[in-house]
Every structure is written in C-alpha cells, then in structure tokens.
Amino acid sequence: MQNIIVAFAKQEDAQNFKSILMRGGFEPAYVCLTGAQVLSAMENLGNGVVICGYRLGDMLCTELSEDMPEYFKMLLIASKAKADDLDLYGKENVVYLPTPLKKDDLFSTLTMMIEGAAIRRKKVKEKRRFRSSEDQKVIDRAKAILMERHNMTEPEAHKYLQKCSMDSGTSLLETAEMLLAFK
C-alpha cells in the first residue's frame, strides 16, 4: 500500500501533483493544504511519504518535519534558493528534489522512499516477533499463575493474556507484567 500525502499551500499545485503521481501509477491517500491537515492524515496512515513544498498554509516544511512521526519521510520539492534558506542539515527524514523537476526523478525517488518505508516496517515487525528469553520467562510465569489459580490449560492461559492485551491496548509482555504485579 502506498501511503502518500501530497501537501502544498495552493490547491492548484496540490491537485497538479496528485494528477502527475496518478499518471505515474501512484495513488495519493490525502491531498492537504496545511501542516495540521498533514499531521491528522499521518495519524490515520501510520507510515508513508509526505510530498510537499517549501511552505504550507500554516507552517514551513521544516516545522512539519520536526513534528512528523518516525515512520514518515518527507520529499521536499522546492527551488534551490528556497532550499538554501532552510536548515536541512541533519534532517534524516527529509529528501530534497530541486525544481524544475523531472518526472523520472520524482518517480524514482518516490519509489525508493516507499520501498525504504516497507523495509523499515518489516524490520520493526520482525523485531517485535522475537522475544528475549527474559521476556518469555515473564509471560510464562503469568501463564503459570493463570493455570494454577483458574485451572486453565496453557493454550487457554495464553489466549486469555492475548485477549486482555488487545482489550487494554498493551503488549503481551506488559499485560503479563501487570498480572504479576497484582499476584
């Protein structure tokens, strides 16, 4: 899935970029005119790429880049003069393309950024999948308490911990730690 947000201060510019992207095979999820709209859209998507100009309706692109969640990257499209005014040094979440812009440069850069987001997502997912032995011991102790006190089988205790975890919006480890704290 391509989580792309197009953000420019002028509606006409935003729509032009949207149509260019669609002709290139990209489907923008949102078109925004202000930084506040972009931040709201980011909450709905979770990760992706923001394509924006130097200035939005309510903030500069650098202000937006500071407020962006870690799973988003910004593709800044601006003239060399405007980009020189910005302090982009050290901003790892911003990729800059100067205007005038070639479609091939835009599409290849955007493809690279989307693939990078997919790789980051995969790494985080795999990291979550493998628990340390200490974490597994905590979960096993919580299951043992449930099995002892409520005459559950191991699969039933695990399923109960998972359900409590999902209901409370915490990880399985945090749920097990809470259960152990109240034993």
Residue spans of beta strands (DSSP E) within 1-158: 4-7, 30-32, 48-52, 72-78, 94-98
How many Å apart are CA 130 and CA 12, to the nearest integer? 47
Confidence of residue 127 (pLDDT cuts 50, 70, 90): low
pLDDT tens digit sequence for 41-74: 998 887 889 999 999 999 999 899 989 888 889 9
Provide the pairing of β-strand 30-32 with 72-78: unpaired
The DSSP symbol for 131 reads: P
Look at residue 1 and tell me whether its pLDDT is greater than 60: no
User: Which CATH code for domain 133-181?
Assistant: 1.10.10.10
| DSSP at 53 | -
* Distances in whole angstroms, Cα of residue 57 to Cα of each of 3, 27, 37, 138: 21, 23, 10, 50
Sort 96 into a burial class: Cβ within 10 Å, 0-12 / 13-18 / 19+: middle
**pLDDT tier, 27 (very low <50, low <70, confident <90, very high otherwise):** very high
Each domain of the chain, given as residue ranges in start order, spans 4-129, 133-181
Instruction: Tell me the residue type at 139.
Output: I
Query: How much is the pLDDT for 141?
Result: 95
The CATH H-level superfamily of 4-129 is Response regulator (3.40.50.2300)
Distance of CA 107 to the CA centre of its chain: 20
**Can you tell me whether residue 92 is helix, strand or coil?**
coil
Beta-strand ranges (E) seen in the chain are 4-7, 30-32, 48-52, 72-78, 94-98
pLDDT at 123: 74
